[in-house]
Amino acid sequence: TVANKRIQRCNRFLEGIQKMADGPIKLRMIAEARFLRATQYLYLTSYFKDVPLVQQVLTGEEANNVKKESRANILAWCTKEFKEAASDLPRFKDIPATETGRACKQAALAFLGRTYMLMKDWPHGAETYKEIIDFGDNDIHTNYRELFQPKLGVGNKENIFYISYLAN
């Protein structure tokens, strides 16, 4: 699946980046990869419930023998990943226009809130979303239709994290 390919890429990246010298760039890129990997697991477990939880690069033989993990354990793992990623990601307001599309603290928190909602943990979900609101970096866009129009729907305070369409 597309999600599994994305997870594999994140795992490969997370293993390869260990060769890089420590510093703030490395810390941010690790947080971004962990965030992206956790989003894929959240989607997978939302649709398929129990799925394999793979956190390292596997050989073909290893990939053929992975066991499914319970949905509860995957969701607990996602909460940990989103929390830790959020702590190392910049706030939405601190990402320059040249880096639009990169993950931010609020994106990790938004997915954390979604994870809590899937777990039916309403108090933690509400607390997490309130944290995003309290930052004050994001807001409802004044014209809802514009969110879906080319050029107008990007670079606004409502879209905390999205995949932008690029022609060709």
Note the pLDDT tens digit of each residue in 14-69.
999 999 999 999 999 999 999 999 999 999 999 999 999 988 888 778 888 889 99
Question: What's the distance, CA 110 to chain centroid?
Answer: 9
The residue type of 74 is I
Cβ(42)–Cβ(115) under 8 Å? Answer: yes
Token output for 58: 């596997």
- The whole-model pTM stands at 0.90
Closest C-alpha among 109, 86, 89, 99 to residue 164: 99
Contact 10, 71 (CB under 8 A): no
Per-residue pLDDT for 95 more than 80? yes
